[in-house]
Structure 1
């Protein structure tokens, strides 16, 4: 009798293993439809997951929205402060413009070094071998473009007209390492400091403003603009921001490394600045290449 029960248990065990293996194989094979037990288990699991996930997501979303509201409040507070300052600056600028106009009317002087006529142009050519040196634009002598005119983008100065044909012009970029490519500039501050944009640091991607007197106080973040004293470029064109200042090898002058406002790599449209104020005769200028 005990032997019979032992055999019976063994048979049941073997049958259970066979059924289990069959079920596993049945489950693993590719099927277009699930069996009703599988569907029931899957639907039940999905319903339970949805039941748990919804309140969990709601709670998590509540705290996330609360954090967003806090951040928005702080940003709104900062923006309000900036808007108030901006309104104050705009009012001050308007007053200065009014005073400036009145003074110019009194002096009967209507033109300044800042005045220029903008001429928009599109970049139509760029040599991959000289990518950081030259671009070609679709405006030429027929549009009033002349050699040495300043060329800018919405973010700042990019270079000057190097040569002109009737229908196109070649623009030399500030990132070109041509030693003759010099531009008269001003480092703005409590006292304006003059220097020359001369050279480009390829590794740091920074312009070099040289010939700054050693006693001049230059700080990081100061704005560099064109001076307008080279008799070709208008005054006030954005060049960039000072990021570093160093003494030259003799200690007589300083060199400011300036991050350009414009992107020299990706240039699609530009503006050629046609200066309004009459230029001096070439015989009156001592440095033909300095703008």
Structure 2
């Protein structure tokens, strides 16, 4: 049995070599004999199968090699894209910080009759915006209760508690903070702004005690008035959303949206009057 199996294998190999030889020989000949043509017609299907198999193997090998290269290239591009995204985020952060610092520098330059202490927020006091922030400056830095705190976009609030190396700042959103204001369009200085929460629980502010004949309107800008000398004059507070008359129709009130986004505060300035002898915090 082993002899016959070996003989069969040899026969198959010989026939295969013979067929292949005939294929190559017939391709090179221009004029085919009747026998060659017959052999060609018999071998054509085999030749097609062999060509198809060879082409499939070649395409598979090309795909395998190219897939490896494409995969490596995709990895490089992914890493490059991640690197560019990281740099873009860093650039945006630096740009935003630079914009904030430039606005604060402009604020200081426009009000040179005050000194300023820069500080950073290190936490929320009581875990709520209504309770204010904890800042990284205190008595050793010259802070006192009642001092005004501003950000790049406008008025933030007041220092309400001071320790040796930290302080608490309550914001305009708290009803305990009252600020004398100036209506930019009418130049009225009778109003007082306090924190206010509307029916949708939005934390806003409200200007009280405006005269009944006030011409204040939606879109007007509300500024600090500097009455009492605590607040530098014309610090931006917010923009009027709506105006209402009280029930007795003896005065008007205005709901305003603060310019400061209290969820996005970072760097702050504590305003220190150069002459504090006439100021009672």
Shorter-chain TM-score above 0.5: yes
Aligned position for 2:173: 175
Aligned mate of 1:184, from 160, 180, 184: 180
Aligned position for 1:18: 53
> Do the aligned partners of 2:124 and 2:134 also contact (CA within 8 Å) in 1?
no
How many residue pairs were aligned?
A: 201
SS at match of 2:145: coil
C-alpha distance in structure 2 between counterparts of 1:118 and 1:219, whole Å: 34
C-alpha distance in structure 2 between counterparts of 1:212 and 1:224, whole Å: 12
C-alpha distance in structure 2 between counterparts of 1:238 and 1:173, whole Å: 14
SS at match of 2:263: coil
Aligned position for 2:239: 241
More divergent stretch after superposition (262-271 vs 248-257): 248-257
Q: Where in structure 2 are there 5+ consecutive unaligned residues?
A: 1-33, 70-110
1:7 and 2:4 aligned: no
Aligned position for 1:256: 254
Aligned position for 1:148: 146
Change in 2 beyond 3 A, CA 1:274/1:142: farther
Shift of 1:204: 4.4
Shift of 1:250: 6.0
Structure number, greater radius of gyration: 2
C-alpha distance in structure 2 between counterparts of 1:139 and 1:234, whole Å: 21
Aligned mate of 2:192, from 183, 196, 199: 196
Q: Where in structure 1 are there 5+ consecutive unaligned residues?
A: 35-113, 283-287
C-alpha distance in structure 2 between counterparts of 1:6 and 1:147, whole Å: 106
Q: Normalized against structure 1, the TM-score is what? A: 0.55
SS at match of 2:144: coil
> Do the aligned partners of 2:211 and 2:252 also contact (CA within 8 Å) in 1?
yes
Shift of 1:160: 1.0
C-alpha distance in structure 2 between counterparts of 1:27 and 1:161, whole Å: 72
Aligned position for 1:269: 268
C-alpha distance in structure 2 between counterparts of 1:220 and 1:263, whole Å: 20
SS at match of 1:264: coil
> Do the aligned partners of 1:133 and 1:174 also contact (CA within 8 Å) in 2?
no
> Do the aligned partners of 2:173 and 2:194 also contact (CA within 8 Å) in 1?
no
Aligned position for 2:222: 224
Within 5 Å, give how 1:25-44 maps onto structure 2: 25-30=60-65
C-alpha distance in structure 1 between counterparts of 2:189 and 2:215, whole Å: 8
- RMSD between superposed Cα atoms in Å: 3.7
Shift of 1:22: 2.2
Shift of 1:182: 1.6
C-alpha distance in structure 2 between counterparts of 1:258 and 1:4, whole Å: 98
C-alpha distance in structure 2 between counterparts of 1:33 and 1:134, whole Å: 57
Greater relative CO, 1 or 2 (CA 8 Å, sep 6+): 1
Change in 2 beyond 3 A, CA 1:24/1:198: same
SS at match of 2:65: coil
Aligned position for 1:123: 120
C-alpha distance in structure 2 between counterparts of 1:144 and 1:197, whole Å: 27
C-alpha distance in structure 2 between counterparts of 1:143 and 1:12, whole Å: 93
Change in 2 beyond 3 A, CA 1:263/1:30: same
Q: Deviations over 1:169-190 (max 9, x none)?
A: 32211123x3x32212111114
Shift of 1:29: 2.7
Shift of 1:141: 4.4
Shift of 1:26: 2.4
Shift of 1:247: 4.3
